[in-house]
Amino acid sequence: MIKIVDSIALLESQAEDFENKAKVEKRKKNYAEAILFFEEAIDIYLKLNWDGKIKMLEKTIER
């Protein structure tokens, strides 16, 4: 059980890192890179089955 929790925490941390990188690239107006990072985060959230977070990031990409 601990390994599962650790794996979930690691995936969540990776997704948050991708989100932060995307936000930095977005501020730099490097939108192509930002989208790639947001998509990586979405892929991880899909693994975690976090629909709410996925929808939020998809709306961010659309903007």
Which pLDDT band holds residue 17 (cuts at 50, 70, 90)?
A: very high
Domain that holds residue 22: 2-62
pLDDT recorded at residue 29:
96
- For the domain that residue 53 is a member of, what is the CATH number? 1.20.58
- pTM (predicted TM-score): 0.75
Secondary structure string (H, E, C) spanning 1-63: CHHHHHHHHHHHHHHHHHHHHHHHHHHCCCHHHHHHHHHHHHHHHHHHCCHHHHHHHHHHHHC
How many separate domains does the chain show?
Answer: 1
